Amino acid sequence: MAPSATDQSSPSKTPLTYKSGDPSLTLPEDVPTGPPIFENKYEERKYLKHRLALAFRVFAKFGFCEGVAGHITLRDPVDPKCFWVNPFGLHFSLITADDLIFVSHDGKVIDGGRNKFLNFAAFAIHSEIHTARPDVVCAAHSHSTYGRAFCATGRTLDPITQDSCVFYNDHVLYPTFAGVVLASDEGKHIAAALGTKKAVLLGNHGLLTAGRTIEETVAYFVLLDKCCEVQLAADASSAGSGKPLVLIGEVEAQATWEAIGTTENGYFQGLPLFQTVEHELGERTFLGRGVDVL
């Protein structure tokens, strides 16, 4: 049994001995770990808008649609101070690239389809995250069932499974719920809480993930919601049996994060999700990357 760890405030500062092997062996050599590179930024915009539309369809497949709540934003490659987001009131499963709305840094809708309604909560939260984190290309938030349930517990995930170690020392709880986020100051507080991490648990609200690629952000949102489900089930089992949960040790959890918790792994883990929605639209590209049509 691995030694237990209860304090996750900081990663191990001593050199790690990888008992289960070198984390760099997780992905095969030459596997794609990021999106294609475009010389033409307008071509990149076109490509990324389509990927964002697919991301909403992935969310729809997992049931991350709750009325009109939820949003995924994409930093624009042409004008990085602006972002693309879903129009308010359109179901995730129906969104196309042409439906996305283009929002300026001060909340003005510059471009979009017939529906140009902006969810101000999306602007209040995501604009501040994109401002505070220049590395963040994509940020996602929705009111997923297990995410909301776990965000009512007032705690972060325990390192109880291999998957939960993806978020080891890489997610944080924002405990304050002040109502629907309609003020930029509240968005600033959320962005500050997120810091350099990949995810924040918004107390009594839901999950938010942020990453350098759309695929990474989507993959880690899906996984985070699953980890919340597993944590809730494990907590219920522990409460029923009276036996404490077995936690993964600090060294083992950190090694696991290095193997499967990086940006590069997140991108690759997201590709199968995009393959499924490509198939539904009659598309098929190599590994679901949106290039190299098969």
pLDDT digits (tens, 9 = 90+) for 184-220: 999 999 999 999 999 999 999 999 999 999 999 999 9
Whether the Cβ atoms of residue 197 and residue 136 lie closer than 8 Å to each other: no
Quick one: which of 91, 44, 102 has its CA closest to 68?
Answer: 91
Quick one: which of 170, 137, 157 has its CA closest to 260?
Answer: 170
Whether the pLDDT of residue 98 is over 50: the answer is: yes
Give the pair of three-digit tokens for residue 61: 């497949």
pTM: 0.92
Quick one: which of 169, 230, 233, 229 has its CA closest to 197?
Answer: 169
Q: Residue 8's pLDDT band (boundaries 50, 70, 90)?
A: very low
Q: Residue 167's pLDDT band (boundaries 50, 70, 90)?
A: very high
- Please give the average per-residue pLDDT across 251-255, as a whole number: 96
For residue 2, the model assigns a pLDDT of 35
* Pairwise CA distance, residues 191 & 194, whole Å: 5
Q: Residue 11's pLDDT band (boundaries 50, 70, 90)?
A: very low
